[in-house]
Structure formats: structure tokens, C-alpha cells
Structure 1
Amino acid sequence: MILVTGATGGVGRPLVELLHAGGTGVRAVTRNAAAAGLPAGVEVVEADLNQPTAIADELTGVSSLFLNPEAVGDSARDLLKLAREAGVRRVVLLSGIAVDPPTLAIEEAVAESGLERVILRPGMFATGTLALWAGQIRAGDTVAGPYARSQQAPIDPRDLAAVAAQALLTDELVKREPKLTGPESLTHAEMVGVIGTALERPLRYEEVPPEAAKRGMAGLGIPEPVIDAYLALLRETVDRPALVTDEVERILGRPATPYAAWVRDHLDAFRGTDS
């Protein structure tokens, strides 16, 4: 049995679906079971992980735990203690190539837990461009943002979920911290061009000052520390090719999904017709 925290998130949902489709028992932890929309047959556990004792009983019979920092927050250490007491053997942590202080604290808790561990270090998620740009693209042909020449190698969260499944079900990644990226480095302007090609529209990226971008992101409800870390990362990668690794291909036996393919699978969201 695998327990997945953040089960309805961008990585958690495809992970749950993948494990379930492969015949693995899954307990999916979410704050709102009624709105989860997960496959029939998945054990859905409604719980607020700020109070990890709420799922103490659900850890019985669990062999591996997928830990999403956004879902567990400051409760990670207590949750890991309960997991070890319940006989959980392995924890797979979703971290990142760039790590903020709260996630670093969770990494330290994982290291001290005594459990087998895998730390996944993805770069930029392709879904980040959807969150930041889809509204602007639905409104017109210009995407305004900072640092047009900043370069990233966006990863499809479904690839990340597939790697997480390998880490949970096999021993090949134990004690490893694979850096996971998409297959190519693209500037923000190039990514917008990729979306425009898929939509058959003449989209362009218009660079704006970082402070203006910060105000726009704050208006989307993104926390200020996250915005500051994101802008700092972009500033450091202007005119510098992003790190591109072959870890996804080495682990999954197939190439990582190109950004253009991810965009084609999400065109309805950019058009505003996503159901």
C-alpha cells in the first residue's frame, strides 16, 4: 500500500492514477474528499496534515509514503515519526533543484527519519507556464513577464509522477536525489512561441520590469517569498542555458516529454475551454 500526500495536486493526481492503473493499492490524502475526483477504487482519506495524528491509523499497512511539502508543511517531522512507528519503510520526497528554507527543513526531517529515502529534484514544471500565462493568452496575443531571455527546461508533471512511482515501487532510486528536467532549454520568449505555434496564433512575449511582474503574480495569490525566489532564479538564468539532464530517460527508459507535446495536451486550458 502506498500513501500519497498532496493527492489532488499537479504531481499527486497523476501519481495516484498511475499507481492505481498498475494495480498498486493507494491511499490518497486530500483536504476535500468530495472534490477529489480520483479513480474509483482508490482509498481517499480526508485529512488536514497540519494535524498528522489524524491519519495515524491510515499509515497501518503502508510500505511507502509520497511526501509533498506543500501538503505537509511544518508537520513533516511528526508525520515521519508516525510513519516509522507504523512500519512504513520508505519516503519519497518531492523537493526541487532550487530549495526554499521550508522545504530544506523537510529534507532534514526526511534525512533524520530513519526511513529509506528518495529525494526528487525537479526543475521548472511545465504547468507553471499555464498558471502564469494562460489568462493573458486567453485575453490577447501578448504575454507580459520578466526576463524574456531567462532559460528553463520545463518538465511535464506526468513524467515526474512516473519517476515517483518508480521510486515508490522499486529499489533503484533509494538514497538517490535525481535532478529531473525536460529535454530542452527554452527561453520564456521561445516557450510563448511554442504555445503560439500550437494555437496557430502570433503570440509574443513582452518583457516588463521585475517589480511589475511581482505585482501581477501577487494578484494571482502567489506568496511573496515564492515570487521573490522565482524572480531571483529567472534573473540568474538570463542568457544561460538551463540544466538539462537525462535522468527521466534513464529511469523511465523513454525520453522526457518535450514542452511542445505538453502544450498540445493542454491547449484547451490556454484557449479557455478546459472543462
Structure 2
Amino acid sequence: MILITGATGTVGSEVVKALLPAQAGHLRVLTRDPGAVFPSGAQKVVADVGSSNLTPVLDGVRALFSITPGLNIAEHDHRLVAAAQRAGVERIVKLSVRNVGHDGADPITALHRAGEEAIRDSGIGWTFLRPTAFMSNALNWAGMIAADQVVYAPFAAGRAAVVDPADIAAVAAACLTQDGHNHRVYELTGPEPLSPADQVALLGEVLWRDLRYVEADPAGMVAQMVSYGMPEEQAQAVTELFRSTLEPYNSEPTGDVAAVTGRPAHSFTDWAKAHRAEFPSPEAVQDVATIEESR
């Protein structure tokens, strides 16, 4: 049995898709949401890594994909490791961050580093996936693009070889089901370094829109995340993680996606084409506003 934590998230949901239908009946997904719906072949378990008894959740599990978001990363990793040891789990694949291997000192990187250490010390086989920034972060710009075709985002000088979450999932699926990945660290990137302005330009080409990028104060990014309901401390930590795009190593592509999956990593243009429908047109936004006003 394979267990996926964080199964409704950006990467977790992609891992579920990557493992099915091949692992149907052998896949367990962990969620805090009783109403969450998963594809056929996945066994849903409703529990909270931070507070639930994890022993029954891990019963019969031999491979675990650990996604521990927020600011409880190290705490949750320790709880998962302890439960995995009791359950006889043989392999843990952890989603970490690229900064861990490059002396990153921001809060989220420090928490992931502590989580990795707990897994290393557990005696359980492990693989660490350390991606750079996700291509899917561009979805946070959808509202701005629909409103006035201008993207406001910080760190204009930053360049990152952003990665498609579907590529992370493909690597994770291989590491969970194939031999040869024990005690390996994979730095997962896309094929080219891109600044925020580069990403906006490529989105414009795919969406057939004249988009413009304007650098924003990082405080604005914090305020936006807080407005979405994220605690301010976590929003500050996420912003500090994004600041690492200013570090040279984040602009350096690796070949780890291809080495594990046997195919090239997706480009940002590939990702944008696959997610074109998630960027509503100004006309669609106006239509929704008109409907709401008429109610």
C-alpha cells in the first residue's frame, strides 16, 4: 500500500493521478476534508497529521509520500516518521525544497531541513525531492491578468528554472514504485531559467493577450496571501522562500526529471498551454460580475 499525504494539494493531487490506474486498490490518500473526492482506485482516509492517531492510517503501508505544508513541517514530519516506524513502512519520499541543499536559511527551508534529518535518522529508506519554484504559482496571477492584463509580483531580478508540478509527481511516482532511488536527492527543475517578466511574456503568447509585468513590493505579496486567509507569519515565510529566486543556483536547470522519468521536463509554455483554461478572459470575468449584480 502507498500512502499520499496532502493529497488534495497542488503536487499531491498530481501524484494521485500519476499513480492511477496502475496502483488502483493499493493507493491510500490522506485528507482533512471529509468532502474531498478522489479518482476511483484511491482509498480515502480522513485524518489530520497534526492531531490524529496515525497508526491506523499507516496500517499496511509500505511506501509513504510526505507533503507537509505550512509552518508545522518539522513537527508533522516527526509524527509521520514515528508512526511509519511503528507500522513498518519501508520507504519515505519527501517533498522538500531546493534551498535545503544550498544553505537556505529562510524559515520554510529550515523546517524542511529538520524534517529531512528526522527521516534520515529513522532507519527507513528515503528519497528527497527538492524542487525549485512551481510553474503553477503563476495561477496566482489569473485575477490580475483578467482584471487589467498587468501582473504585479516581487523580485523582478529573480530567475528560477521553475518546474511543472506534474513533473514532480512523475518523479514521485517512480520513486514510490521503483527500486534504485533509495538515499537519493533529486533537485527538480524545468528546462530554463525564467524571471517573472519572462513568465508573463510566455503567458501572453499562450493566452494571446498583451500582458505586462510590473515589479511589486514584497509586502504586497504578503498582504495578498493574508487576504486569501493565510496567517501572516506563514505569508511572511512564503515570501522569504520566494526571495531565494534571487540566488544564482535557482536559475540552474538540472536533468533530474529526465534522469528519473526518461523524458524531458516540461517547459513553462507546455504548462501554460495545459492550464490555459484556468486563466479567465476579461470578458468572462465581466460576465460573472454582471450575473452577480443582477441577483
Relative to the length of structure 1, the TM-score reads 0.90
Deviation at 1:147, TM superposition (A): 2.7
Deviation at 1:23, TM superposition (A): 3.0
Q: Find the counterpart in structure 2 of residue 206 from structure 1.
A: 214
**RMSD across aligned positions (CA):** 2.1
CA contact (8 A) 1:117 1:174 kept: yes
Deviation at 1:101, TM superposition (A): 2.0
Deviation at 1:90, TM superposition (A): 0.6
Deviation at 1:182, TM superposition (A): 0.5
Q: Does 1:141 align with 2:152?
A: no
Q: Distance in 2 between matches of 1:211 and 1:58?
A: 40
Q: Find the counterpart in structure 1 of residue 240 from structure 2.
A: 229
CA contact (8 A) 2:23 2:41 kept: no
CA contact (8 A) 1:52 1:75 kept: no
Q: Secondary structure at the match of 2:61?
A: coil
Percent of paired sites with the same residue: 35
Q: Find the counterpart in structure 1 of residue 271 from structure 2.
A: 262
After superposition, the C-alpha distances for 1:30-69 in whole angstroms (9 at most, x for unaligned) are 00132x221123100000111242x312312111011112
Q: Which runs of 5+ in 2 are unaligned?
A: 101-108, 286-295
Deviation at 1:122, TM superposition (A): 0.5
Q: Find the counterpart in structure 2 of residue 94 from structure 1.
A: 95
Deviation at 1:218, TM superposition (A): 3.7
Q: Distance in 1 between matches of 2:7 and 2:46?
A: 10
Q: Which runs of 5+ in 1 are unaligned?
A: none
Counterpart amino acid of residue 165 in structure 2: P
Q: Distance in 2 between matches of 1:38 and 1:241?
A: 33
Q: Secondary structure at the match of 2:173?
A: helix
Q: Find the counterpart in structure 2 of residue 48 from structure 1.
A: 48
Per the alignment, do residues 39 and 216 of structure 1 end up closer, same or farther by CA in structure 2, a change over 3 Å counting?
closer
Q: Secondary structure at the match of 1:205?
A: strand
CA contact (8 A) 2:10 2:165 kept: yes
Q: Secondary structure at the match of 2:79?
A: helix
Q: Distance in 2 between matches of 1:135 and 1:202?
A: 15
Counterparts of 1:31-42 in structure 2, within 5 Å, are: 31-34=32-35, 36-42=36-42
Relative to the length of structure 2, the TM-score reads 0.85
Q: Find the counterpart in structure 2 of residue 174 from structure 1.
A: 182
Q: Find the counterpart in structure 2 of residue 157 from structure 1.
A: 165
Per the alignment, do residues 209 and 20 of structure 1 end up closer, same or farther by CA in structure 2, a change over 3 Å counting?
closer
Q: Distance in 2 between matches of 1:209 and 1:76?
A: 33
Counterpart amino acid of residue 256 in structure 1: A
